[in-house]
Each structure stands twice: as C-alpha cells, then as structure tokens.
Amino acid sequence: MNTCDERRDAIVLLAADQLEGDELPELRAHLAGGCARCLGAFASAEAALAKLALSIEPIEPPAVVRERLRARASADVSRSRAPTRRGWQRSAIAVGLAGLVAFAAGRFTTHATVERLEGETEVSRAALEVLASPNVSELDLSGQALGFRGWARLYYDVSSRDCYLRAAVVNPPEDGQSYVLWFTSDDGQPRRGGVVDVSEQGEAALLIELPPGADVSAPVYVTRERDPLAAAPTSEPLLVALLGGI
Amino acid sequence: MSDGHDDLTLMERVARADATALDALYVRHAPQLFALCARILGNRAEAEEVLQAVFWEVWRSAGRFSAVRGSPRVYLVQLARSRALSAVRLRRRRDGLLADVGGQDVLAAELLGRQADSNALAATMQDEERRRVRSALRELPEAERCVLMLGYFDGLSQSEIATKLGEPLGTVKTRMRRALVHMREQLVDEPGTGGVH
C-alpha cells in the first residue's frame, strides 16, 4: 500500500497518460476514493503539463475556421430559439429546392433532366432534414485496414431513424466489388445498411433508414463485398466507427 | 495568456449558448491550440478540422465544464491534445507504422523555440510563461527531453518510445519519470494561483 507522498510521481505519470503496470489501477482506485490531496496533486500536474503546449509558437489558424465555427454556433442558437423548427425548415428547404428545380427546368428543357433533378432534390431534402434535425447524432468512421484510406461520417436522426452517410477520400472499390454499410443489432448480429457508391473522386453519400433491430451504439462499419446484396459481411471492416468521434 | 477569470466567465456564457463568448474564447486560444494540433498531426488541414471539432465540443458541452478540475485553458489544451492524438493514432493504426512520429532533431529545433526567437513579442504574461516552459525544457538532459516530447506530442507509450529509440524499456521509464517530475516542479503554480490562467 502506497502513501500519498509515495504516489506523487505516479500522479504526474498518470496526468501524462504514461502510468503503466500495477500502479495504474491502484492509483485510479485511490483517486476514485476521493483523496483530496492526491486529486489536488493530479489537477496541479495536469495544469503543469498543459503548459507544455506553450513551448510551441502559436500559429494563427485560417480565418475560415473561425467563420465556420461562428456560422455553426449562430445557426445552432437560431435553431434552438425557433419554436417550430422542423416546420419552417421543411418549408424553407422545400421552397428553396422547388426554386432550384424550376430554375433547372428552365435551363435544361428535357423532361429526363427535370425528372433526375427532382429525384436528386428529394434525396437532398431528406438528407438536409437529417442534418438539420435537433435529434441528430454523429458517428465518425475511419479506415483501419492496411492499404485502405478513407473516412466517413454517419448522421443519425433519432426521431425519424433516418441515417445519412457521407464519405470522402475513399479508394474506389476494385472491379466487381462494392462497399457495403453494416450496422449491428442488440444481439451482435450484422444488419445490412446499403451499398456505398463511391465516385471517382472518392466521395459517397447514402441515405437510408436505420435497419430494424440495429443499435447505433454498437459497431457500424463498411466492408468490401463481391455480392452487393450480401446478407452478412464476408470481409474485414475497412471503415469502422470511431467511438466518441473527434 | 488571457486572464483566467475572463476565461471562466466566457465558459459560463458559452454554457448559456452565447455564440459571441465562444468566438471570444476562440480568439484567445485558437492560435495556441492550432499550433498544438498542427504539431501533433503534422498536417495543417487535419489540424483545422480538429480545432473546429474541439471548439464545437466546447460549445456543446460547456455546461459540463467544472472549474474544480482545472482552468478553461487546461481543459482546452487537454481536449485539443486528446482529439489530435486520437486522430493521429487512428492514422498510425491504419498505416501500421510509427513512421510519422517526429524525430529528435525536429523536436529539439521546434520545441526549444530556436525558430521563434526572432519573433520577440511584447512581454505579455503568455510570453513569460512560454519562456518559463522553454527554460524548463532546456534544463532537461536531451535524452529525457526526447522521451518527454515523444510521449506528450506524439502520444507514444513508454513501450513504443523504447521501440522507436531502440532503448531498454526500463531506461525509458526512468527518463520519463525524471522528465515529468522536473516539469511538474518547474511549472506547477503556487497555491492560490493554480487553475486561474
């Protein structure tokens, strides 16, 4: 059994995420027990180590980062103040997209083009509703396999159960193969989400409803499949959820 | 660095969904956090993404911030470091390598401020503190400083550091412990001033 004095060095190692071995569980249990002296020492060590960041000369980030953050926060405030947020957003989106379709119809006179745009508009509208939902959760998926790159973000609207996946920087699949999104059920079974069509630019978007029985807090992943309609994954995950996101 | 009491006030306002307070917090801390993220990630574009994610997380969770655990600045630095290291660890797992980890020479030049010495700034509180940190780092033997930097800025465990440097694990552990204890002794605030900055 260590004394609080003997724990001082271990505390600074813990603050730096460098404590290993038997000392780690012992110290964690001690801190969890509420020792005020050691908790104070831990806070002091964390504060001291945070100053290491000052050893680097500050760099002014690009103005666009601040602008994006301001816009996002302002939009969040506006949304939280709007009493019938979903209603007016739906109307605004519908009016805007109807205008876009009308504009496109004027420019592109073929019926087929208008039909395609209307179809895309419907998908865009549904995707926007997921993104604008007050109940949206985000889950980041990142590449885990050697020789594979890419990332994706899954937006999940708890209220509607709609899921919208956006992927970027993904290697297009080899000929005859497809990327498939999978969820996991409460009992650990795979639940097929859908095929993720990756463009030549490495981007993809997929709008689906959460499969029945799927649990978004359980693993969500993407595999490469020969059969795009496979009922269960046959290969290792290429993109998997990053718990906690960044 | 900014006044700690003002930071606390800003955090309280952010918790009440005051977007101007978030912006003010950003102006105060973003340059240091961006430099930290860029150092850890070695990539400005990724650093921008992480920086934005950090401040968005502050926006969404400022209500859970507790000044008892530390100052807003400590919280922000820890958050940025943690998120940047998560991103870099994912990249390493994907690539299966430690090749993107910064080398000793780079660390020595970068962290001891040789490049920055020409940018002599006004004697602000932050600059004083920066000098204090760099001075504490310079006092460390190079081997201990290297181990500390690989742990703090590259997020390597002591075992990974031992592998990377080709040193026995026991040696790395000893150096890490000495280095951290030295930094704590040099940088810890006096009672009554801690947690304010």
Tokens linked to A28: 């964690």
Query: Which pLDDT score, from 0 to 100, does residue A109 have?
Result: 39
**Chain A CB contacts of B93 below 8 Å:** 144
Give B78→chain A minimum CA distance, Å. 7
Beta carbons within 10 angstroms of residue A107's beta carbon = 8
- The residue among B44, B65, B97 that closes a domain is B97
CA B149/CA B133 separation, integer angstroms = 13
Q: Which residue of B has its CA nearest to A69?
A: B52
Q: Residues with Cβ < 8 Å from B174, sequence gap 6 or more?
A: none
Same domain, B78 and B145: no
The ipTM assigned to this model is 0.78
Q: Are B128 and A69 in contact (CB under 8 A)?
A: no
Is the distance from CB of A239 to CB of A142 less than 8 angstroms? yes
- Residue of chain B nearest A142, judged by CA positions: B90
Same domain for A21 and A101: no
Instruction: State how far the Cα of A147 lies from the Cα of A181, in Å rounded to an integer.
Output: 19
A204 DSSP β-pair partners: A167
Interface of B with A in 92-111 (CB under 8 A): 93-96, 110-111
Q: Is the pLDDT of residue A229 over 70?
A: yes
Q: Which of A132, A167, A186 is the last residue of a domain?
A: A132
Q: Residue B163 corresponds to which tokens in the numbers above?
A: 């592998």
Which range marks the domain in which residue B24 is found? 1-97
Q: Is residue A47 part of a domain?
A: yes
Q: Into how many domains does chain B fold?
A: 2
Q: How far is A232 from chain B (nearest CA, A)?
A: 24
Task: Name the residue facing A80 among B17, B33, B187 (closest C-beta).
Answer: B17
pLDDT for the residue numbered B27: 94
The H or E element that residue B24 is part of is: helix B19-41
Give yes or no for residue A171 having a pLDDT over 70.
Answer: yes
Q: Does the distance separating the beta carbons of A12 and B35 come in below 8 Å?
A: no
Do B152 and A49 lie within an 8 Å CB cutoff? yes
Q: Could you give phi then psi for residue B182, rounded to 5 degrees? A: -60, -45
A118 min Cα distance to partner chain B (Å):
33
For residue B77, what are its two tokens?
A: 């630095």
pLDDT given at position A36: 85
Size of interface A-B (CB pairs under 8 A): 179
DSSP string spanning A86-131? Answer: HHHHHHHHHHHHHHHHHHHHHH---HHHHHHHHHHHHHHHHHHHHH
Largest Cα span, chain A: 82
Kindly state whether residues B88 and B133 are assigned to the same domain. no
CA dist A177 and A173 (Å) reads 6
Per-residue pLDDT tens digits for A194-225: 888 887 777 788 888 888 888 767 788 888 88
C-beta of residue A9 within 8 angstroms of C-beta of residue B183: no
Asked if A150 and A83 sit in the same domain, the reply is: no
Torsion of Cα atoms, B154 then B160 then B163 then B164, to 10°: -10
CB contact under 8 A, A246 and B151: no
Q: Note which residues in 50-69 of chain B have CB less than 8 A from chain A.
A: 50-53, 55-56, 59, 69
Q: Model confidence over A15-46: pLDDT tens digits?
A: 888 888 888 888 888 888 888 888 888 888 88
Quickly list DSSP for A132-201: H-TTEEEEEEEE-STT---EEEEEEETTT-EEEEEEESPPPPPTT-EEEEEEEBTTS-EEEEEEEPPPTT
How much is the pLDDT for A149?
73
Residue A183 structure tokens:
């969820």
* Model-wide pTM > 0.90: no
- Of A50, A77, A242, Cβ closest to residue B78: A50
The span from the CA of B147 to the CA of B178, in Å, is 10
Average pLDDT, chain A: 76
Take residue B126 and report the two structure tokens written for it: 């932050």
Contact B110, A56 (CB under 8 A): yes
Q: Which residue type is seen at B161?
A: I
Assess if residue A2 is contained within a domain: no
B52/A69 Cβ within 8 A: yes
Considering the domain boundaries, does residue A14 fall inside one? Answer: yes
- The partner residue sitting opposite B56, judged by closest CB among A58, A72, A144, is A72
Distance (Å) of CA B121 to CA B110, B124, B126: 17, 8, 10
Q: Which residues of chain B are under the pLDDT cut of 50? A: 1-2, 99-100, 102-123, 191-197
Contact (CB<8Å) B94/A60: no
Residues A75 and A93 in one domain: yes
Q: Quick one: pLDDT at residue A139?
A: 81
Q: Which domain holds residue A230?
A: 136-242
pLDDT at A122 over 70: no
Determine, for residues B183 and A49 on separate chains, whether the beta-carbon distance falls below 8 Å.
yes
Number of structural domains, chain A? 3
- pLDDT > 90: percent of chain A: 7
Mean pLDDT of A91-101: 47
Q: Does B19 touch chain A (CB under 8 A)?
A: yes
Phi and psi at residue B143, to the nearest 5°:
-65, -40
CATH number of the domain where residue B137 is located: 1.10.10.10
The CA distances from residue A233 to A179, A183, A223, A236, B94, in Å, are 10, 10, 7, 8, 20
| Contact B27/A at CB under 8 A | yes
Is there a single domain that holds both residue B22 and residue B84?
yes
| Judgement on whether residues A23 and A85 belong to the same structural domain of the protein | no
If phi > 0 it is left, if psi is from -120 to 50 it is alpha, else beta; for residue A209 that is beta
Distance from C-alpha of B141 to C-alpha of B134, rounded to nearest angstrom: 13
* Contact of A23 with A1, CB cutoff 8 Å: no
Do residue B22 and residue B90 come from a single domain? yes
The contacts of residue A50 (CB under 8 Å, 6+ apart) are B70, B73, B74, B77, B78
**Across the interface, do B151 and A18 touch by the CB < 8 Å criterion?**
yes
| Domain identity same for A150 and A165 | yes
CATH number, residue A189: 2.60.40
What pLDDT is stored for residue B3 in this prediction? 54
Averaged pLDDT, A74-98: 56
Of the candidates A210, A207, A176, A168, the one whose C-alpha atom is nearest the C-alpha of residue A192 is A210
Please indicate whether, in this complex, the C-beta atoms of B184 and A44 are within 8 angstroms of each other.
yes
First to last CA, chain B: 7
pLDDT value for B146:
94
Torsion-angle region of A139 (φ positive above 0: left; ψ -120 to 50: alpha; else: beta)? beta
Q: What is the distance between the alpha carbons of residues B66 and A46, in angstroms, rounded to a whole number?
A: 14
